[in-house]
Structure 1
């Protein structure tokens, strides 16, 4: 079981508070396989990632994500352990999508700052499902990570998909060594 950084817990706690206030916790759902995106193969390890891409590509605009109910956070998540796994970035959480395993309805869209410009760019998606004693949730033919605790939500399972920024650790890895919250590291 991996420990989730406190800043991410705080971001999801904020979203959970909003979800509870709105009564918007969504039930877990699943979608069947779909055809890849028209125009070619992205090299993704599962065809449903094409559905995720088509449903979320408009969120390259931070403003569109916010307009569609994703709550902006100003806490950047990065692994600070000796393992130096990299970062996740800034999570924008849509409380209505917490609990979804639908490829088109991630709970969070994740942004990282373009170094030098300060502008945020879409880098990944994340699905979050509260642990209610059910079997481990699955999407894209793989088990979610967790469960891990998030204040306001309790124990949750999560799954990342790095479809907007290449991740040398893998499409479904939680952290990306190419994402950093502070100044770019010198290599």
Structure 2
């Protein structure tokens, strides 16, 4: 067994050699302790996080994300104890449990670094008024085969019917503008009407308003 003086000397030397790594480890420990009360979604909503009713899938082959709960009062927070989002996934029994945390940075200039990892971005705003931003996702409560700071987790998937529906057109199929449907020069005996382009499918032109009788 190593004498206590040797252990203290080794710890001191390690701290001197990798002070940033030690700080990153302590920051992760802080995030772990601070978010332990939010293992289940009801605790997050009680604390002011607003849930997204839909599961967020990832890109093909990348896995998924789960159900984010946002508190935009923590946008631009670099405090390990105050993430912008808490992300939940369904376990084998269908119970949602905390899986990942997310920090969002909307400031200008060089993106920050937290836990020894760089933020991803810039990312376009997700809702009206949100500027381009950077984000850091940390899979602290669920192991991620793609890495602790990967955007998606291959072990996470969205059950059928839980993802956000695709938007539907409100006013029927699109139509071409009147300008696109009106030739620049009306055809006459001196001009030849343009030949139709059967291989090109254009949206229908709007109907002309009826003339008053």
Q: Which TM-score applies when normalising by structure 2? A: 0.61
Structure 1 position 34, deviation (Å): 10
Task: Please list every run of at least 4 consecutive aligned residues from structure 1 whose deviation after the TM superposition is greater than 6 angstroms.
Answer: 33-36
Please tell me whether the aligned partners of residues 63 and 153 of structure 2 are also in contact (alpha carbons under 8 angstroms): yes
Work out the CA distance in 2 between the residues paired with 1:143 and 1:128: 12
Corresponding residue to 1:122 among 77, 80, 98: 98
Corresponding residue to 2:113 among 138, 149, 153: 138
Q: Does 1:62 align with 2:41?
A: yes
Within-5 A mapping of 1:1-187: 46-81=25-60, 84-115=61-92, 117-130=93-106, 132-150=107-125, 151=127, 152-182=129-159
Q: Report which of the two has the higher share of strand.
A: 1
Structure 1 position 164, deviation (Å): 0.5
Per-residue Cα deviation, 1:133-160 (whole angstroms, up to 9, x for no partner):
2211111122100010122312010001
SS at match of 2:29: helix
Q: How many corresponding residue pairs?
A: 140
Unaligned residue ranges in structure 1 (runs of 5+): 1-32, 37-44
Work out the CA distance in 2 between the residues paired with 1:133 and 1:157: 10
| Larger RCO: 1 or 2 (CA < 8 Å, sep 6+) | 1
Q: RMSD of the TM alignment (CA)?
A: 2.2
SS at match of 1:46: helix
Work out the CA distance in 1 between the residues paired with 2:72 and 2:108: 21
Work out the CA distance in 2 between the residues paired with 1:129 and 1:89: 21
Structure 1 position 167, deviation (Å): 0.2
